[in-house]
Structure formats: structure tokens, C-alpha cells
Amino acid sequence: MTIPHTTRPYRSYVYAYPHKTAYGRLAGHPGGRPALSDLWAGESKAALSLYLHIPFCEVRCGFCNLFTRIGAPDELTTRYLDALDRQSTAVRDALGDGEPVRFAAAAFGGGTPTFLTAGELERLCDIAEKRMGADLRSVPLSVETSPSTATADRLAVLADRGTTRISIGVQSFVEAEARAAVRPQRRADVERALGLIRDSSIPVLNIDLIYGIDGQTERSWRTSLDAALQWRPEELYLYPLYVRPLTGLGRLGAADEAAADVAWDEQRLRLYRAGRDHLLARGYEQVSMRMFRRADAPRAGGPDDYACQTDGMIGLGCGARSYTSRLHYSFDYAVEMREVRAIIDGYTATEDFSHAEVGRFTDADEARRRHLLQSVLQAEGLRVSEYRERFGTDPDEDFTEELARFDARGWLDRGASAAGLLRLSPEGLAHSDALGPDLFSPAVRAAMAAYDLK
């Protein structure tokens, strides 16, 4: 099967909208940089999400375009946590003393949060609890880790502080594939880390795997899937490989070639379907294109697959985003290592965190798009009644052309409308990374196209 260019399945992974490459410096807006106290005034604070970002890794994988750097020399982690402490104090002050601030979910991401030592993880938890007021033992807490940093002492701290979910990036149990993805690791070390995680008794284990790696076959893909299944993970995320500019694989010259490689699209779709069917046949249910949950597993709580249709997220750290109903904001974003280091150094030297620096204001149209994106990319779909209650219109009215296009491609489940749902078909879920970008507004597309990669 040849995939027409207009329906190529792998355009962009949409986990947040608008993407940070659509953000801009806020100093040039009327009134200059907005004060956080003004941004959060009048916002609901009854069920906020809290995200703490640690931008350090021991190695940087060849496919990674996340905001992270290799290593932390000269006590950089201490200086980073000092800055995180200052930022959290400023943010908590900005939330005010009016409506009680309550957190419904928390997460530590990166980078690799477990790059921090056990003592530093204790301090990270203290910042979330003592500065921000989050009760980590009573809300869902998700933490990302890696095979080399999932040590017994770190996991003991996380378990004691209330972690309900730990996500480990394995990507492949086949060592040759890990090397091809510029992720040097030994399977024995991966298995050791998984054993330590299970020994920690953290309730939910998620394992990340990647398909589409050079040299990967359906047989080797099943090898990784079955190796992961031996640990009976409560969740599995299956990610298609992307080759992005300024990443390790991109610098090897693969980016332009991969972007034009329809055969690679076909390989990834084939492996996706094989992986999906393999997991469905073994007691897992599909939550999104990427996420699969064991049917009998406890729920970690919190939003699935980054689906947060409402605003109200506080991000701490120089790679974190924050969401209010009017503005999504963060610090500067980069991929190239020199630029990332400069941004982190600037963050650690910052004393005044009382204003938003970089972001994008949102309007009613963008709010509709975000709600549709975050809902319809989930397997359960969008409840039309909830959309109508929030916006006063129906998605069919607001997105007539886009939904007609999706329907013509067989991406919509036509039978779901009788249950009041707008839901993707199995093929629609398979094409989530094409469907999502098709819903971006013209203004966001233009801002992303104008972004200067760094």
C-alpha cells in the first residue's frame, strides 16, 4: 500500500497545544511581561496540575529533541534546585491567599528526574510539598526514570514520598536497535532496573518502547514487546521513531531522508498495528495511539496521555509549561546543546521569577481546538455534550471542514455519534500524528513555521 502524501501518518506528535515553537517573547506585548499574580487572578485553583522539570540526562538519545542537557558539572544540580526553590516561592505567592490552592495531580519529568541523587530527590519533593503545598502522598504522582538511574536508593525515596506511577524509557530490549537509536544500553541493565522498580512496590509501572528503528523487524519488535510483558507493566507506551533537526540522528544526516521516506511510514504503520494487536490480545486496552493499559491494572490517576482539556497547570523548572485560561507560558526552548546549556545557566542565575517570559495568548478558537485535540486523540473520544456545555456550540459546527476530511479518510467512528461521542476509528487512531496537526490554527502554523530552530 502506498500512502498518499496528504495522509502521511507521521507528521508530529501532539501532546500539548499550542506547541512551544509557537510561543514568543512576551516583553513585546502591550504591557510587557505579565505578572504571574495578574495571570492567576480569577483562575480556578481547585484542581491544579503540578509539573516539575529536571533538564539533565546521563546521555542524550539520538532521537531526543526534548529540553535536556548531558551531565551537570560544578554542582549545577544544586544551583538548579536553588532556582527551582526560588521559582516555586514566587509562583506560590502569585497564586494569592484567596481561593484555596489544591493540586489534583503531580509529575516529575525531564530530562531524567532520577538523574538527581536520592538526597536531591528528597529536596525536589520538599519543594513540591513545602513550597507549593502539594500533598504528594494523597494525589497521583508520576515520575520518569531511565535504566541507568533507577537505583534502589532513589526508588526508595520516590516510593516513600507517594509516587504512584513510574515511567521508564527502555525503547528497545534489542541491544543492536538501542545502538541504532544512539541509546547505548545493555539489556541486563534494563532488566536490573525493572526488577528494582518492581521491588519498590510503586503501584504503576509504564515502559516506553519505540518502533521504526533502523534494522527493526516485526520479529525483533515482538521480542521487545514480549520482554516488556514479562514484567506485567500496568501501562505501555508505543512511540513511533521521529528524526528531528538538531538531534543526534538528525546530525547524522538522516532527517531530510527520513522526512521523504514513504517506505519508512509504511514500516512504522505496520509495526504499530502489530504492536497494537499484540497488546490487545494479551489483556491490554488502548487508551490512545501511544498508550496501552493492562485491563486489570489499578489506575494511577490523573489525566491519560497528557489529556488535560481544561487549563490550570503549573510548571516549575526551565523546561516546564504553565497553563492559564488566557496564556500558556514557559521559558525559552532549544534543542541544540549549547543553547540548552545557556538557557539553564540563565535560569539558575535568575532571582526574580514573578513574571512570565515566553508564551502564547489563547483565544476562544484556540481553546476549542485544544479541547478537541486533547479529547479526540483519546480512544474514548470526545463527549459532544461536554463540548457543547463549555463552548455553546457543537464540534461539527466549529470544525466542519476538518471533520469532513477525517470522515472521508475513514478516520471517524460513524457509529459513535449515537452515543453522543466524536470518536476516531482504529485507522483514525493509527493516524493520530497526521490528524492532530491538521487541527492546528493558521496562526499557530505560521508561528511554528517562523520559529528559528536552535
Q: How far apart are CA 377 and CA 215, in angstroms?
A: 29
CATH number, position 395: 1.10.10
Q: 353-384 burial string, b = 16+ CB within 10 Å, else e?
A: bebbbbbbebeeebbbbbbbbbbbbbbbbbeb
pTM: 0.94
Q: Are residue 113 and residue 238 in the same domain, yes or no?
A: yes
Are 38 and 126 in the same domain?
A: yes
Residues 122 and 21 in one domain: yes
Long-range CB pairs of 369-373, under 8 A, 24+ apart, other chains included? 369/17, 369/439, 369/440, 369/441, 370/17, 370/18, 370/309, 371/309, 372/398, 372/399, 372/439, 373/14, 373/17, 373/436, 373/439
* pLDDT the model gives residue 6: 55
Question: Does 297 reside within a domain?
Answer: yes
Is 443 part of a structural domain of the chain? yes
Looking at the domain assignment, is residue 433 inside a domain?
Answer: yes
pLDDT of residue 4: 43
Dig out the grid coordinates for 176 from the structure.
543492536
Q: Do 272 and 421 belong to one domain?
A: no
Same domain, 407 and 286: no
Instruction: Mark whether 42 and 176 lie in a shared domain.
Output: yes
The pLDDT value given to residue 222: 98
Domain of 389?
364-450
Within-domain flag for 140: yes
How confident is the model at residue 52, as a pLDDT? Answer: 98
**Same domain, yes or no: 254 and 138:** yes
DSSP structural state of residue 424: B
**Residue 27, pLDDT score:** 84
Q: Is residue 390 part of a domain?
A: yes
Question: Do 280 and 376 share a domain, yes or no?
Answer: no
Q: Is residue 181 part of a domain?
A: yes
The answer to whether residues 278 and 375 belong to one domain is: no
Q: What's the confidence (pLDDT) of residue 257?
A: 52
Q: What is the pLDDT along the chain (454 residues), one digit of tens a residue?
A: 334 445 689 988 888 899 999 999 998 777 789 999 999 999 999 999 999 999 999 888 877 778 889 999 999 999 999 999 999 999 999 999 888 999 999 999 999 999 999 999 999 999 999 999 999 999 999 999 999 999 999 999 999 999 999 999 999 999 999 998 888 899 999 999 999 999 999 999 999 999 999 899 999 999 999 999 999 999 999 999 998 777 777 766 554 455 558 889 999 999 999 999 999 999 999 999 999 999 999 776 544 444 454 669 999 999 999 999 999 999 998 888 899 999 999 999 999 999 999 999 999 999 999 999 999 999 999 999 999 999 999 999 999 999 999 999 999 999 999 999 999 999 999 999 999 999 999 999 999 999 988 8
Return the residue matching grid coordinates 516546564.
Answer: 320
Give pLDDT, residue 254: 52
What H or E segment, with its residue span, contains residue 87?
A: helix 76-95
Task: Quote the pLDDT of residue 454.
Answer: 86
Same domain, 257 and 378: no
pLDDT at 120: 98
Query: What pLDDT shows up at residue 261?
Result: 82
In this prediction, residue 65 carries a pLDDT of 77
Structure confidence at residue 245 (pLDDT): 73
Q: What is the DSSP string of 94-140?
A: HH-SSSPP-EEEEEEEES-GGGS-HHHHHHHHHIIIIIT---TTTS-
How many angstroms separate the CA atoms of 292 and 266, rounded? 22
What is the reported pLDDT for 119? Answer: 98
**Is residue 301 domain-shared with residue 375, that is, in the same domain?**
no
pLDDT of residue 197: 98
Q: Which residue among 306, 321, 348 closes a domain?
A: 306
Characterize the bridge pairing of strands 358-361 and 24-25.
Answer: antiparallel
- Count how many domains the chain has: 2
